[in-house]
Structure 1
Amino acid sequence: MEKLINNLRTGQQELAKWEGGKMAVSAVPGAGKSHSLAVAAAITINKNNLNNNRQLLIVTYTRSATASIKNSIKKILEELNLPPIGFTVQTIHGLAVNIANRHPLLSQLHLEISTLIDATPSHRIIRTTVTEWAKNHEEYYHLLLKGKNTETEESERLRRDSVLLTEVLPNFAHNVIRQIKSSGLTEYDLDTLQDDPTNPYPLMAIARGLYHEYQELMQKENLIDYDDLILGALRVLENDNARKIWQEEIFGVFEDEAQDSSPLQGKLLEILATDSDNSEVNFIRVGDPNQAINSTFTASDPLYFKLFCDQCQEIGQFFAMNQAGRSSKIIIDTANTTLKWINQQIREKFEDKSFNKLDSILPFREQEINIVDREDKQLDANPQAEGKGVEIYEPENIYQTVELISKRIIQLFNNQKAKETYNLAILVRENRQGSFLYKHLEFLKNNYNIKIQLINDINNYAHIPRQILSILQFIDCPHSREYLKNALETLQNKILIEAQDLNALSIYPEKFLYPSAIEPPQSKQTKKARNYCLKLLKSRLELPHYRLIPFISSLLEYQASELATAQKLSDKIHKQIIGNSSLKTMISTLQEIINSEKFEGVETDNQNIYTEKGQVTIMTMHKAKGLQWDYVFLPFLHENVIPGSADPYVPKSAKFLGNYNLPDITRTILRSLTHQKNSGHKNSPLTSISLASHESHQLKQGEEYRLLYVAMTRAKKLLWMSSAKKAPWRWNYFEDNGNVFQLQDSKPCSVIMMLKSVQK
């Protein structure tokens, strides 16, 4: 054990020497927190003679991380000649299921007869919630429908109706329901937060109504969501006897990636970490608030990990794991410079004393990454940089960007030894950027034997049944506005058609699909969308219904695992409808499969697919979290993307509501209420739409900066960054036809300009 501890760095050693109580560890990127967490776990198990009856609980947030930590602990226990017992590694939701299953009456969850769903904005339950709310709250709905203008033509009213029911309100419902449930807010809490009378819309009243409709529907259909699992587990632990049973079984809790925790998740773990005899809390939380990149679109909130760090600092139990051996020194220096500079820019922007929430919107905690000591045991720690180590370019346009990238890749993989030794990633902000790069770099495979791998953001295949259902429903009922729009959305998401106002296209399906001579000529983008729809309708006439799913899979350009999943889905449907096979029964069966949430895709990939040697991996910055490559390329770093435009982005289709992103604003107001309730803040929660819009925008920009920081710190030997002088205004509306004249002048991300000036 002494040898294990001595091989650890400062910060890591404090974790391994933990004797009990609360401890917070803030770990910089590449600090080796997972390894040191595994060492600390093995030492704790040995010191305290933990066994199957009294265990150490390690909690993380992905199944892949769970498997990795479990294997690491087992390996270290084996080195210590100890049996692989005395610990359990679980995801937070897996833990909640175990607690709820053992005490079904206390949890009020009956998992054997309930269906667990992930209620995304496109999920049927959210859409039904919105429809029921609009029906039962006509006054509020018509207020939204009216928007800023009182007089509207029939076509505009229909368009607004479509925007509200299929875009604004589903996103609104999804945001507020998750925020309410994950924060532990009660209906009483919601009632106490009244709407500001100066607001144009009663957002809290709308939120309460949607939440109430959602809960009623979930109960009626015997459905539960992931937040219900946490709430159910907490109900169990409110019972003295049940709580004592669990606390006696658990010696302590180690939480990994604590910055991604929600208030209720933190509460659940702290209860389990409490000793039933002396009330001591044996709780270690390890994370990095500077790598919090999910809080503006999930229920996670890094504020609570920051507060935990502050509490531990007061009792001398806060430690920084700030040495990292992943990257070369120049990349580390660049990341540190970026962090400090961004925080300074925010301070200068809000130096006006009237703004009293500066600390809450600073993107980063001041924490430098340091290189490791010379005697460090990590092999090739802080490796020698490739070339300059950090290369920054400003090509003329996005096509020249591709040329520069391809030439540099060819240089880096110029021989077989390099292909067997090194790997490379191109990290982008949007999926469409990744598809663009993949299309223009595919030639490297044939011409230079360099493998190109495009990784989609979707890491499971739940989208496939829904996409196929949207197409089949349109084929079956093409005159439906809803089904036409859903089909167009699927085509747009698959980047088969350009982004455009789908509400305008779907208002009158007949006019869109079969325009008469007196109709205005359709645009090129509209014609392309129409042609795809006509292909689908033609397939209904030319193919038997049981061949439609393979045809749709081909038309949507599914790849590898997606095709296998679609075939598995097709086989499952046709087995269930033998003797009563038709398009109608296919659709009905597919709808049942989606509602049951029990269909699993065919997984053919593993974690190595992201970091294979000799491979160019193209993926989004979000999906790159936790990974590393020898060479990392970050193209298309423009100001309108990172940190985003100066004003909050509001979709053009929703402009009739004003310059407000209502889902984001309401979520920010609810989060403010949560902070006041759970953090001891004395400030009153936000109620003003204008102030909430401002704060929401600042938080979103801060998260974009953290995303850039995470992407930069994935690189080991080379960090390549670029910002093209001409780029698409919005990638969603970009048609890749080689025409540079459709590109617009684009300002580079301010970080690019700062780093260029530093290099000079």
Structure 2
Amino acid sequence: MTALDRNAQLQKLRDSLRPGQRRLADWRGGPLAVSAVPGSGKSTGMAAGAAIAISHFQLHARKQLVLVTFTRSAAANLKAKVRHHLKALKLPYNSFIVQTLHGLALNIATHNPEVSGINLETTTLVSPNQSNRLIRTAVESWIHEAPALYHRLVEGQSFDGEETERLRRQSVLRTEILPALAYTAIHEAKSSGLQPADLNRIGQQAPPNIYQLLDIAAGLYGQYQTLLSQRGLIDYDDMILAALKALEDPDISRRWQSQFFAVFEDEAQDSSPLQTRLLAKLAANPDVDPEAIGYPDPPNLGDRGVSPNLVRVGDPNQAINSTFTPADPVFFNQFCDANRPDRLATIDQAGRSTPKIMDAANYVLQWVNQQFPREEPPFRAQAILPVPPNDPQPNANPAPLGQGMELLMNPADINVSVQKIAQKVKELIDNWKEEKENTSSNALPAPPTLAVLVRENRQGRFIREVLEDSERLGFDFAETTGLKIYDVGSRDRNTQVPLEMLHLLLFIERPHSPDYLKGALRVLVNRQRIPTQDLNPLATNPEQFLYPGPLEPPLTHEAALNARRYCTSLLRARFDLPPYHLIPFLGTTLNYNQSELATADKLAARIAQQTTEESSLSTMIGALQEIVSSERFDAIEAEDTEAQYTRAGQLTIITMHKAKGLDWDVVFLPFLHAKLIPGESWIPPQGEFLGSVSLPDVARAQIRTYVHANQTIPEMQTAWHRANDLKKAEEFRLLYVAMTRAKRLLWMSAAKQAPFTWSNPDNLQNGEPCPVLRPLDKFMRERQTESF
């Protein structure tokens, strides 16, 4: 290809992009922040910008462009797009690499083991189940090492010394509150580059509190790190810390910076401080003193002088992980603000949705920011705009199905809500069939893709059960619509089968263990075999709970009696059944569906194969523990395992979080109640003895205040209020993400009656709708009137 031909091809590629995307194509070095709205084609712009940069800077195998994403599937998708452009431009494929952030960090660390301390021959990545066990062990070790701090927690706000209450509080602390505090504090601290000693120092800066919270967090963190080290294990944060440690060596740093000409980061709103620091270090100019490079933002914004070649693309309004992971959108917002106006691009034109859906999403963004004024508003002020008529995206801003936007404020209850969804799906399928019959051309209309998005998996399970019950629904859904129900949560639950079996078998073998009894009770609650309740009083004294003597006070609550009946029936099964029949029996007891029962049968067969020489309950548990630890057991799907979430011919039921990055022609959002979105500040009754705050949330808020370089660490009550504000902001962003998954019809509703808790969907009470729904309903009605 001649230079003239390539230039023409590059110009054609640039011309195919939208204005915001063209800023990526025009990048010529230095930092660039790209804030993009949902459906605006971030990956399309990144791929085109990457190909043009590779051509402009003549990149090759020893001077590469690095594209960083957060998931392997996103990496594969982005890589395919870039290779497509490079093939057309006849440029080398080895001029770029696409990696997940952790994969990139591990690559750097393992190439320099003598400095990073990570050697794949002696180091193993800790699995989630291993990490959970280590945290529980760290809690026990900390209790032994810091008895005074632990006893202060047991005393709580007040304590009369009663022994049963002491045992209950100890159970709550050991199995719930301290593991949650450890998990939160460890990940927040490590993802920010903080050591246990740093948490101690932050605790000294914080206002005094009766529990010395950050000292406890530091102790738990230290115990966890000791356990990792003793076992030769690392976690994902250790990968990034090790990579940064390697890059502190000037020669190693120069070598990697010379290899990587620039870094393009996708989904930048989900970066942690440590990840941001790693990418800025890699993108820096190898010929510049590293001390001249500021963090998180460089002081000089000119073309790769001091400034790094760092392009960060994201959408702060789709930051929906920050309240339960170390992801923190503050840093991407700061990066955007630091680089405005010359080095901030906004991709605000999106072709995904019909205009009414975009209007609704924009209204929610504006309304929430007006109602919740804070230093950091929930949303970045950027509206979604339609694309121009000549946009190259096929069927951009498609015509609506029906009204395009439907908001039902008055279904009587959640059962009626599901019936309304089913009726709407039937109507849409009937309309599609009629349109297909009336179409004479070869271009037959495609069936609409459909999804129901829920806040939690228990809602999805309820919807599936109603849709599969023709008596409750009023008609046979599958037969009438011809659609398959694809419950994504049900598929995910299959992967929990080995762990659930392990919890139940451990209890059956050692029923006198409070921890094993509580583990079994949790499985029964999660599978909705027994009602949600405080399990700690039941598990504190197993013998008294399971087989009370004549002098023991009787259980008065039906929920507790039901729990006892299930547990004693499990224990009887040990004597009534041979060991190899226990797992199928337990699957039936938990009311497993077809896929889960098949998975349980496969699990039983594998364990039987591994324990042929000695078939006993103990050997079964040993084999099962090995399976759970290695996490190498594939669930069996009754449906096609390769089925895509967005294919036609099915109604997908999926959580709002899992739906991010996907889209459908029609999206249903039922059960939009204020209790879940934006939610309420709530302390579980079993933890109220510690006060009216959540210790893990308080610790996260205090650590983030320090990481954000704020001088004053808030006291516990202020930190708790701040944590709740952040949670509400994130819940509204989650609603925004869910709304923007719809292309042609968005259906929203909040029933008048909803469950107190979704673990018991039959216990209905009056429910307030999400506060934005009534103003949104009024806004859409006014817009409808104006259009006539």
Q: TM-score, normalised by structure 1?
A: 0.92
Q: CA distance change for structure 1 residues 219 and 198 in 2, over 3 Å: closer, same or farther?
A: closer
Offset of residue 60 of structure 1? 0.6
Per-residue displacement from partner, 1:54-78 (whole Å, max 9, x unpaired)?
A: 2211111111111111122222222
| Contact 1:119–1:126, Cα closer than 8 Å, also in 2 | no
Aligned equivalent of 2:724: 697
Identical pairs, percent: 47
| Contact 1:121–1:171, Cα closer than 8 Å, also in 2 | no
CA distance in 2, matches of 1:178, 1:478: 34
Aligned equivalent of 1:64: 73
1:642-721 pair list within 5 angstroms: 642-645=677-680, 648-676=681-709, 683-721=710-748
Aligned equivalent of 1:355: none
Offset of residue 568 of structure 1? 5.7
Aligned equivalent of 2:566: 532
Aligned equivalent of 1:413: 429
Aligned equivalent of 1:638: 673
Offset of residue 5 of structure 1? 0.9
Offset of residue 503 of structure 1? 1.3
| Contact 1:183–1:263, Cα closer than 8 Å, also in 2 | yes
Alignment of 1:312 onto 2:312: no
Out of 392, 398, 401, the position equivalent to 1:377 is 392
CA distance in 2, matches of 1:209, 1:735: 41
CA distance in 2, matches of 1:53, 1:616: 48
Alignment of 1:625 onto 2:660: yes
Offset of residue 726 of structure 1? 1.3
1:323-342 pair list within 5 angstroms: 323-342=349-368
CA distance in 2, matches of 1:326, 1:169: 45
1:63-462 pair list within 5 angstroms: 63-119=72-128, 123-195=132-204, 196=206, 198-277=208-287, 280-313=307-340, 316-347=342-373, 358-360=374-376, 362-394=377-409, 395-414=411-430, 415-416=432-433, 420-442=446-468, 443-456=476-489
Per-residue displacement from partner, 1:391-442 (whole Å, max 9, x unpaired)?
A: 1112121121122111111111225578952111111112111111110012
Deviating more after overlay: 606-615 vs 511-520: 511-520
| Contact 1:545–1:583, Cα closer than 8 Å, also in 2 | yes
Deviating more after overlay: 80-89 vs 615-624: 80-89
Q: CA distance change for structure 1 residues 312 and 380 in 2, over 3 Å: closer, same or farther?
A: same
CA distance in 1, matches of 2:557, 2:574: 26
| Contact 1:77–1:84, Cα closer than 8 Å, also in 2 | yes
CA distance in 1, matches of 2:633, 2:425: 40
CA distance in 1, matches of 2:283, 2:609: 48
Out of 460, 476, 482, the position equivalent to 2:515 is 482
CA distance in 2, matches of 1:631, 1:585: 50
Q: TM-score, normalised by structure 2?
A: 0.89
Per-residue displacement from partner, 1:667-698 (whole Å, max 9, x unpaired)?
A: 1101111111xxxxxx4132400110111110
Aligned equivalent of 2:618: 584
Name the SS of the counterpart of 1:727 in structure 2. strand
CA distance in 1, matches of 2:71, 2:404: 32
CA distance in 1, matches of 2:757, 2:402: 33
CA distance in 2, matches of 1:276, 1:5: 30
CA distance in 2, matches of 1:664, 1:181: 16
Aligned equivalent of 1:10: 19
User: Any stretches of 5+ residues in structure 1 without a counterpart?
Assistant: 348-357, 677-682, 737-741
CA distance in 1, matches of 2:593, 2:59: 47
Offset of residue 36 of structure 1? 1.3
CA distance in 1, matches of 2:769, 2:747: 15
| Contact 2:666–2:742, Cα closer than 8 Å, also in 1 | yes
Q: CA distance change for structure 1 residues 359 and 7 in 2, over 3 Å: closer, same or farther?
A: same
Q: CA distance change for structure 1 residues 76 and 522 in 2, over 3 Å: closer, same or farther?
A: farther
Aligned equivalent of 1:739: none
| Contact 1:457–1:619, Cα closer than 8 Å, also in 2 | no
Name the SS of the counterpart of 2:199 in structure 1. helix
CA distance in 2, matches of 1:185, 1:290: 27
CA distance in 2, matches of 1:687, 1:729: 33
Name the SS of the counterpart of 1:456 in structure 2. helix
Deviating more after overlay: 281-290 vs 559-568: 559-568
CA distance in 2, matches of 1:118, 1:96: 18
RMSD over aligned CA atoms reads 2.4
| Contact 1:121–1:174, Cα closer than 8 Å, also in 2 | no
CA distance in 1, matches of 2:587, 2:392: 50
Name the SS of the counterpart of 1:90 in structure 2. strand
CA distance in 1, matches of 2:584, 2:61: 49
CA distance in 2, matches of 1:454, 1:142: 45
AA matched with 2:664: W
Q: CA distance change for structure 1 residues 146 and 89 in 2, over 3 Å: closer, same or farther?
A: same
Aligned equivalent of 1:351: none
Offset of residue 599 of structure 1? 5.5
CA distance in 2, matches of 1:277, 1:574: 62
Aligned equivalent of 1:353: none
| Contact 1:118–1:226, Cα closer than 8 Å, also in 2 | no
| Contact 2:68–2:264, Cα closer than 8 Å, also in 1 | yes
1:503-522 pair list within 5 angstroms: 503-515=536-548, 519-522=553-556
Name the SS of the counterpart of 1:641 in structure 2. helix
Q: CA distance change for structure 1 residues 420 and 396 in 2, over 3 Å: closer, same or farther?
A: same
| Contact 1:261–1:301, Cα closer than 8 Å, also in 2 | yes
| Contact 2:203–2:213, Cα closer than 8 Å, also in 1 | no
CA distance in 2, matches of 1:460, 1:495: 13
| Contact 1:41–1:73, Cα closer than 8 Å, also in 2 | yes
Per-residue displacement from partner, 1:550-603 (whole Å, max 9, x unpaired)?
A: 443444455577566655655554554443442212222333444455656668
CA distance in 1, matches of 2:98, 2:595: 28
Offset of residue 83 of structure 1? 4.4
| Contact 1:97–1:229, Cα closer than 8 Å, also in 2 | yes
| Contact 1:396–1:724, Cα closer than 8 Å, also in 2 | yes
Deviating more after overlay: 41-50 vs 226-235: 41-50
Q: CA distance change for structure 1 residues 530 and 735 in 2, over 3 Å: closer, same or farther?
A: farther
Deviating more after overlay: 237-246 vs 601-610: 601-610
Deviating more after overlay: 71-80 vs 435-444: 71-80
Q: CA distance change for structure 1 residues 521 and 503 in 2, over 3 Å: closer, same or farther?
A: closer
Offset of residue 459 of structure 1? 5.3
Q: CA distance change for structure 1 residues 120 and 665 in 2, over 3 Å: closer, same or farther?
A: farther
Per-residue displacement from partner, 1:632-674 (whole Å, max 9, x unpaired)?
A: 11111111111112xx211111111111111001111011111
Deviating more after overlay: 103-112 vs 175-184: 103-112
Name the SS of the counterpart of 2:422 in structure 1. helix
Q: CA distance change for structure 1 residues 122 and 746 in 2, over 3 Å: closer, same or farther?
A: farther
Out of 741, 747, 757, the position equivalent to 2:768 is 747
| Contact 2:129–2:629, Cα closer than 8 Å, also in 1 | no
| Contact 2:106–2:239, Cα closer than 8 Å, also in 1 | yes
Name the SS of the counterpart of 1:373 in structure 2. coil
